[in-house]
Amino acid sequence: MRFDLLVQGGSLVSTEGIEKADLLVRDGKIAAIVSPGSADGLDVSEVVDASGMMVLPGIVDLHVHIGEPGKEQKEDVVTGTKAAAAGGVTTPVIMPNCVPPVNSAERLIARGELFEAKSFVDFALLGGAGGESVDQIAEQADAGAVGYKSYVGTYREERKGLICQGTGDIYRVLEKSAEVDRFIGYHCEDGPSAKVLRDRLIEAGRVDFRAYHESRPEFTESLATVPLLEIARETGGRLYLVHMSSPWAMDVADMYRENGTDVTIETCPHYLTFTDEDTARLGPYAQVAPPLRSPETMELMWDLINDGTIDIIGTDHAPGTPDEKVRGQKNIFEGGGGLPAMETIWPTLLAEVNRGRTTLENLVWLMCEHPARVADIYPRKGTLIPGADADMVLVDLDETYKLSADSMYTKNQDSGTIFDGMEVTGRVKMVYQRGHLLSRDGKLVVEEPIGAQWIRP
């Protein structure tokens, strides 16, 4: 029997542990996992030397914003998916807030076809759900949506049909999510109370960098979370709390989960690696919503990563344009937030593994296996067991290097300023999709897409 690839000499990382093993790949899938050296003599087309390296599954990132169509100035399909291929995100799951937004089966299919034509990596799509589009929720599931994003409050062009005006709409949307058995993502920050605080700060002449996080304290997150939890508890809906930053809100959500409510808690790498001191220093270049929190809060976040309260890490990859950053320099409330994070998620978190904050096995659960399970695309994605797609990330845990914004593939490198010059230990060396090498040391080795596959549940 002939194999396409043998990955030899590495240590295979799964949620169960780390063990020395060799991987055999055939037709884009993991064909077998064998003990070190026991594949010698087999008929193999190519041998990859992984000695000294960790072999991880590709990331399934449930939180990726790519603006195309309609907001290409932030990120387009080519730049965004090249960033994914460089960083080891082999299955980005794309948010629906493009223009026009995805809120029907027709638009979901059109977006899937766009990505199939241009994407450098496999992908999955989120549909859109809101008060106006409750009737389109089921059809989007049938068309291949792995879940949905919904917004509470403020209207923007890219949110048309994705908005819930209050708890009545949230009720209808979560009720429907239970029927179609797909998760619905909600951003938890209470707009009205944050507006009171923001207006007061502006009245007092405060538009400086620190005013941003003062206007959005942690209680706005817990305040927004509780109604969602109550409605999920009542309707049986599958609630997915995106980019959570407040330990109190997460402890409350965990209490509901322990009592049977279907709730998943996501945080992002930036809440684990940066703090409000970075916002005070960098303003719009460290501006995210919810805002970065205090160093004390960041410490608590790591406890929640290690005790299982936080059960997903997604990037919230969302670069902003240079114009937005310039506006934010003058008035932080007029700046545009967002960071490009797919190229930095592994190096920033590998550095934390090296500091002893958490384990590689835990991160494989939080970034690969669990998101694939939540999106119902496991075990094709999110794991390296026989039969799974051979999406592999080879990592050198010992290499120290500096991140640089101008070597990123994201369309807005300027937006990656917070990472620029950061010294990290732990590097993504090679990224494979279905057995094809996509990148080496963060540089793409393919000039054209290898043929992206749209992954449906």
442, 395 Cβ separation under 8 angstroms: no
Query: Which of residues 156 and 330 has its CB atom nearest to Zn ion in the complex?
Result: 156
Who contacts 133 (Cβ-Cβ below 8 Å, separation ≥6)?
103, 104, 161, 162
User: Which residue is at the shortest CB distance from Zn ion?
Assistant: 316
Helix (H, G, I), strand (E, B) or coil at 7: strand
CB of 289 to Zn ion, least distance (A): 8
> How many angstroms separate the first and last alpha carbons of the chain?
31
Query: Which of residues 244 and 364 has its CB atom nearest to Zn ion in the complex?
Result: 244
CB of 234 to Zn ion, least distance (A): 26
Query: Which of residues 68 and 316 has its CB atom nearest to Zn ion in the complex?
Result: 316
Query: Which phi and psi angles does 213 have, rounded to 5°?
Result: -75, -25
Query: Which of residues 169 and 316 has its CB atom nearest to Zn ion in the complex?
Result: 316
CB of 148 to Zn ion, least distance (A): 13
CB of 93 to Zn ion, least distance (A): 11
CB of 164 to Zn ion, least distance (A): 16
CA 147 vs CA 124, 153, 231, 258: distances in Å? 10, 20, 18, 22
Taking the CA atoms of 245, 247, 253 and 259 in sequence, report the sign of the dihedral they define. positive
Query: Which of residues 122 and 316 has its CB atom nearest to Zn ion in the complex?
Result: 316
The Cα 79–Cα 82 span in angstroms is: 5
Query: Which of residues 42 and 289 has its CB atom nearest to Zn ion in the complex?
Result: 289
178, 236 Cβ separation under 8 angstroms: yes
Please report, as ranges, the residues that interact with Zn ion according to CB under 5 A: 316
CB of 132 to Zn ion, least distance (A): 21
Query: Which of residues 93 and 105 has its CB atom nearest to Zn ion in the complex?
Result: 93
Q: Residue 311 CA to chain centroid, in angstroms?
A: 12
How many other CB atoms sit within 10 Å of the CB of residue 114?
Answer: 15
CB of 40 to Zn ion, least distance (A): 47
CA 272 vs CA 266, 297, 310, 401, 424: distances in Å? 12, 9, 12, 20, 14
